[in-house]
Amino acid sequence: MSEIANKLLEGTSKPAPRPAMLVLEDGAAFRGTSCAAEGEVYGEICFNTSLEGYLEVVTDPSYAGQIVTMTYPQIGNYGVNPDDAQAGEPALRGLVVRDMCTAPSNWRSVLSLPDYLRDHGVVAVEGVDTRALVRHVRDCGAQRAVLSTVDVDEASLLRKVRASEPLVGQNLAATVSCEKPHAVGAGDLPASHAFAVAPAVPACHRVVAYDCGAKRSILQNLVRSGCELTVVPWDTPAEEVLAMAPDGVFLSNGPGDPEAVEGTYSQVEKILGQVPVFGICLGHQMIAKAAGAAIEKLKFGHRGGNHPVMNLLTGRVEITAQNHGFGLVFPSLGELVPELSGGFKGHEDDLRFWARAGIAPVVDNPRFGRIRLTHVNLNDGTAEGVAFLDIPAFSVQYHPEASPGPTDAHYLFTAFGRLMDGREDYLDIDIAADRLAGWTFGEQAATVAGAEGGSHA
């Protein structure tokens, strides 16, 4: 930067610029300035389209092994409250933003995002043309990348990134799972969330949750919906889980290549059919792997809080929060059952076909019987949810806990409780009525609406 530009910056909240560079393995390079910890990190480049919730993104264990680009232009403007963190430490490798706010303004803010990132040793860069970067990843696909504040030589960084380890084949779930079983209860819910979220309902179901990189808010939502929760490491033997006599088993989100997490899906295969099972994100893929399905790597993944998903059972569209780079290949679960699939006999690669047809197709799985496709991504036609018809189990590819993101999918926690109660109609829920369940502003809105209705009577 020029001397006059540096002089102008000295009079603002921005620190003196320090050069940083991001280089992708295909040779694409993006220059910027460091805005957090110093260092050099390697990972798979990805992007998140959420408008808010940057702290939840930074601390989501599902981002282990990745360098995350935020598409929203200014990040950090409302600061950081540690109660909103999804794990004790950030798991991502690095962060890329257009503009980093160093002087946040919000009544809940405890410190700035740059200070939080520095405290936790996270390398971050600002001043990058994130629109150009995202377009490049969309066109060319996910790939290895290096982010450095100590080496800004393009040729040097390109050599390094091409020699780095790819994400495919790594068991990253093992790096972010808990070390030993532990309980999560109502006493673990953040007191600072009470202004918006209602207290937990009394526990009525005993649930064991496999931690493959679980976000705190997902576990908190299980507790709020009435689960007495025991969290176990990713590779806990099925025999130990079943010996706890749970009413249900939950399979969490998590990072990386699902093919590498055999320690989980080999145990899930033993649990399916024994107790009700609910899986999300990586947990959805663990159920699919247990059923013998194939998993594909998506070109650039789904990450953000605005992904439209159609519930094929109800025809309703949910705006969902997602974070994954792999997905279920639905046809690999088995052959279609024509009499339960609108008479159709052949699979479709683009699952939006079933959304247009208004049909939730069913396959005959060699291991677990009939499995129904319940949810489809309307952006690219990939599988977003399945329900087993002959055993009590279902799963979705997205995150229903809204941290960050919309609350459309909250009904899935309600559905899990109904499944554990033995109800066959567990997924038959009015999502419009359920989406504000547990939020105090939902109760306040109902109270105001009631008062207004009374005043007009």
* Residue ranges, CATH 3.50.30.20, the chain: 10-162
Lowest model confidence (mean pLDDT) among 7-16, 242-251, 367-376: 7-16
Q: Shortest CA distance to 171 belongs to which of 93, 258, 244?
A: 258
Q: What's the rounded Cα separation, in Å, for the pair 359 and 373? A: 9
Q: Are 328 and 397 in contact (CB under 8 A)?
A: yes
Lowest mean pLDDT among 245-259, 297-311, 442-456: 442-456
The pLDDT of 158-186, averaged and rounded, is 96
Both tokens assigned to 130: 């994130």
Is the pLDDT at 448 greater than 80? The verdict is no
pLDDT at residue 457, rounded to an integer: 41
Q: State the pLDDT at residue 310.
A: 96
| Per-residue confidence band for 122, with pLDDT thresholds at 50, 70 and 90 | very high
Cα 382–Cα 388–Cα 392 angle in degrees, nearest 5:
135
**Averaged over 352-369, what is the pLDDT?**
98
Confidence of residue 371 (pLDDT cuts 50, 70, 90): very high
Mean pLDDT of 244-257: 97
In the predicted structure, residue 5 carries a pLDDT above the cut 80: no
Measuring CA to CA, how many Å separate 192 from each of 83, 113, 229? 7, 19, 21
Write out pLDDT tens, residues 28-53. Answer: 999 999 999 999 999 999 999 999 99
Q: Give the model's pLDDT for residue 291.
A: 98
Is 225 annotated to bind a ligand? Reply is no
Which has the minimum average pLDDT: 168-182, 332-346, 439-453? 439-453
**Residue 449 predicted with pLDDT over 60:** no
The answer on pLDDT for 454 being more than 90 is no
- Residues of the chain with pLDDT > 90, as a percent, come to 86
The first and second tokens of residue 4, run together, are 């006059």
Q: Could you give the angle at the alpha carbon of 406 between the alpha carbons of 258 and 305, nearest 5°?
A: 50
The verdict on pTM exceeding 0.85 is: yes
Per-residue confidence band for 10, with pLDDT thresholds at 50, 70 and 90 = low
CATH class of the region 173-441: alpha beta
Residue 308 has what pLDDT? 97
| Candidate from 6-20, 28-42, 245-259 with smallest mean pLDDT | 6-20
Q: What is the pLDDT of residue 187?
A: 93
- Cα distances from 67 to residues 46, 145, 183, in angstroms, run 6, 7, 32
Q: How confident is the model at residue 446 (pLDDT cuts 50, 70, 90)?
A: very low
pLDDT of residue 84: 96
253 is in an annotated binding site: no
62 known member of a binding site = yes
Mean pLDDT, range 298-323, rounded to an integer: 95
Q: Which residue has the higher pLDDT, 430 or 382?
A: 382
Q: For the residues 407-418, what does the mean pLDDT come to?
A: 94
pLDDT at 120: 98
Q: Has 256 been labeled as part of a binding site?
A: yes
Residues of the chain with CATH 3.40.50.880: 173-441
Residue 11: pLDDT over 80: no
Residue 377, classed as helix, strand or coil, is strand
Residue from 210, 233, 228 nearest 283 by CA = 210
Instruction: Flag whether pLDDT at 456 surpasses 50.
Output: no
Other CB atoms within a 10 A radius of the CB of residue 113 amount to 27
**3-state class of 408 per DSSP?**
helix
Give the integer Cα–Cα distance in Å for 399 and 22: 29
**pLDDT at residue 216, rounded to an integer:** 97
- CATH: 3.40.50.720, 2.30.110.10, 3.50.30.20, 3.30.750.80. Which one for 10-162? 3.50.30.20
In whole numbers, what is the pLDDT of the chain averaged over residues?
A: 93
Question: Active-site positions?
Answer: 281, 399, 401
Task: Give residue-wise pLDDT tens across range 320-337.
Answer: 999 999 999 999 999 999
Section 332-344 average pLDDT:
98
For 106, other C-beta atoms within 10 Å of its C-beta total 11
- Residues 180-200 have pLDDT tens digits of 999 999 999 999 998 888 889
* 43 annotated as a binding-site residue: no
